[in-house]
Amino acid sequence: MHIGAIEAGGTKFICGIGNEQGIIEDRVSFPTENPELTMSKVIAYFKDKQVEAIGIGSFGPLNIDPFSPYYGWITTTPKPGWTNFPFLDTLKSEFDVPFEWDTDVNAAAYGEATWGAARGLDSCVYYTVGTGIGVGVYSEGRLVHGLVHPEGGHVLTRRHPEDEYAGKCPYHSDCLEGMAAGPALEERWGKKGSEIPAYHPAWEIEAFYIGQAVSSVILLLSPKKVILGGGVMHQEQLFPSIRKEVLKNLNGYVQADEILANIETYIVPPGLGENAGLAGALALGIKALQNRP
Ligand code: ADP
Ligand code: ZN
């Protein structure tokens, strides 16, 4: 069985084909350009692949309310050309197969719950810390959408006492994303995150912000696993520091062995590694097939 998967990112698109076991059999990647150019590459890739369904995890903000006339649209993104772009309709007019469409981070959370670090659990939260910060929520065995969709990258944070950086979010300045996404790291320290050495004070401050967000999400949603992915989380030394921050913030209040005794297996990198996004889209494609009337 061939199922199509699209990881639609603001920087690059990855399209692939996989099977019901989560094995990705083929993939291509190309930079995200204007919608016409980008979608023509997506369509060309799937044209001769005979997929039975397509799952999409996309950058946003996007409309995932199936009762809205704008369902399947990218909505208020500042990304040139993509504002109010009918992503899903563009593909539906080319391929007569079931589709499932969700945020990139919800897709990743779903992939991790299906085949990755949260396999067998009925809840997890997936953070990506990259060009932006996004949060995918899987709870009671289903993806959470709510009114629009969770936007946990823009929660407000308490400032690190030694951090005088103004923040980079155009809406909120010093929200979580404004303080801790890759571009904030780069502007604050004057070099790319990948070039900041592991012993640099940048990482203590970074862990301080991410640790706050993770503590809050534990209190708010009580997920059975917290998965931290994205480019910035390639800095592996962040994991022990974030776990320490979380334990400090919670201060013994949440009485669960998963947190108090086994936090190393509770706050973890994606089990699917760099495949989390595409595998998540594949899992959505399988769901589309199962949900077909
Ligand atoms: P995107 O969020 O655009 O999908 P990524 O998850 O790869 O892509 O995130 C890109 C961001 O992560 C950039 O701001 C980049 O500087 C930062 N980044 C990538 N690799 C590293 C690294 N090894 N250490 C710290 N930051 C990194
Ligand atoms: Zn913000």
pLDDT of 138 reads 98
Q: Which amino acid is residue 97, in one-letter code?
A: V
Q: Cβ-count burial of 209 within 10 angstroms (0-12 exposed, 13-18 middle, 19+ buried)?
A: buried
Q: What is the pLDDT along the chain (293 residues), one digit of tens a residue?
A: 899 999 999 999 999 999 999 999 999 999 999 999 999 999 999 999 999 999 999 999 999 999 999 999 999 988 899 999 999 999 999 999 999 999 999 999 999 999 999 999 999 999 999 999 999 999 999 999 999 999 999 999 999 999 999 999 999 999 999 999 999 999 999 999 999 999 999 999 999 999 999 999 999 999 999 999 999 999 999 999 999 999 999 999 999 999 999 999 999 999 999 999 999 999 999 999 999 87
Q: What is the pLDDT of residue 293?
A: 77
Q: What is the pLDDT of residue 78?
A: 84
Does the model's pTM come out above 0.85?
A: yes
173 Cα to the center of ligand 2, angstroms: 6
> Which CATH code is given to the segment(s) 3-103+274-290?
3.30.420.40
Kindly give, in sequence order, each residue whose CB lies less than 8 Å from that of residue 245, ignoring residues fewer than 6 positions away.
207, 208, 210, 211, 212, 214, 215
**Domain 117-269 falls under CATH 3.30.420.40:** yes
Other beta carbons within 10 angstroms of residue 160's beta carbon come to 17
Q: Round to whole Å and give the CA distance between 84 and 62.
A: 9
Q: Ligand 1 atom closest to Cα of 183? A: 14
Find the 9 Cα to ligand 1 centroid distance in Å: 12
* Residue in 232, 239, 242 to alter for ligand 1 test, most ligand atoms within 8 A of Cβ: 232
State the span(s) of the chain assigned CATH 3.30.420.40: 3-103+274-290, 117-269
Please name the residue whose Cα sits nearest to atom 27 of ligand 1.
232
Looking at the CA of 234, name the nearest ligand: 1
Interval between CA 293 and ligand 1 midpoint (Å): 40
Distance (angstroms) between ligand 2 centre and the Cα of 177 equals: 6
Ligand 2: centre distance to CA 4 (Å): 33
* Tokens read off for 100: 């499932």
For residue 38, the model assigns a pLDDT of 98
Q: How high is the pLDDT of residue 39?
A: 98
**Cis amide leading into 35 (omega within 30):** no
Protein residues whose CB sits closer than 6 Å to any atom of ligand 1: 9-11, 128, 130-131, 182-183, 186, 192-194, 230-232, 234-235
Least distant ligand from the CA of 176: 2
CA 232 to CA 96: how far, in whole Å?
38
Measure the CA–CA gap between 73 and 66, rounded to whole angstroms: 11
CA-CA-CA-CA torsion for 249, 155, 262, 234, nearest 10 degrees? Answer: -120
What separation in Å is there between the alpha carbon of 140 and the centre of ligand 1?
31
The DSSP-derived string for 171-204 is TTBSBHHHHHSHHHHHHHHSS-GGGS-TTSTHHH
Question: What pLDDT, on the 0 to 100 scale, is given for residue 287?
Answer: 97
- Nearest-ligand number for the alpha carbon of 195: 1
